[in-house]
Amino acid sequence: MAEGGAIDALNEGLRLLESDLKADDVARQRVRILVLRIGAPNDVQVVTDWVDAIDFEAPEIEANGTTPLGLGVHRALEEIEAEKERYRDNGIPYNRPWLFILTDGEPTDLGWERAAAECRAAEEAGRVSVFGVGVGDAGLDKLARFSTRQPLRLKGLAFREFFLWLSRSARVGSQAAPSDAIQMAPPSDWAVVPGRS
């Protein structure tokens, strides 16, 4: 993310996600969160390791240069599979994990196409649900290669609305049985669907 207004709005949105999830008695116990940040040449950083929403403290994200999106998504998929394995080992049922990819750029790492194909294949196999969100001038064509869903573009700096929508969706999901399909509300107040005005 670029420095300045966008990164400030992102951090405000993360704080809203924290407070809104903690306000829900079920979600704060059942929703788990992992936050990764990518940047610098080929750097993927675990900013917040897996944590229950009740213990989640919104991190302060800083802008960090390049966009090694392939490496970041590959790492996210590894982390998700490891978390699912911990659940299985302990006999804990779980809903399909969600992976949200927020970016204000295009992939800058070599081989990102392999990670995009891996991500799409994981989604097609039902191992994860992937949502791409472009910020500012992000290249949606490349972001679209990571998911079976069309990526959306954030309306301006509507991170607050995005994270509130995400929290409300997670709250609904926390009430669902593992076999249930989770119906998310339409992202009408924070997203622009490409090709529509």
Cβ pair 56, 18 in contact under 8 A? yes
Structural domains in the chain, sorted by start: 5-175+187-192 (3.40.50.410)
From 119, 113, 105, select the one nearest 75 (Cα to Cα): 119
Q: Across all residues in the chain, what is the average pLDDT?
A: 91
pLDDT of residue 58: 97
pLDDT for residue 87 is more than 70: yes
pLDDT of residue 118: 98
Q: Which residues contact 179 (CB under 8 A, 6 or more apart)?
A: none
pLDDT in tens, 5-57: 889 999 999 999 999 999 999 999 999 999 999 987 778 999 999 999 999 99
Cβ pair 32, 53 in contact under 8 A? yes
Provide the pLDDT confidence category of residue 195 given band limits of 50, 70 and 90.
Answer: low
pLDDT in tens, 52-79: 999 999 999 988 778 999 999 999 999 9
CA 138 – CA 126 distance, rounded (Å) = 27
pTM exceeding the 0.85 threshold for the entire prediction: yes
Q: How far is CA 162 from the centre of its chain?
A: 11
Q: 167 forms bridges with which residues in the sheet?
A: none
3-class DSSP assignment, residue 144: helix
Provide the pLDDT confidence category of residue 98 given band limits of 50, 70 and 90.
Answer: very high
pLDDT of residue 197: 46
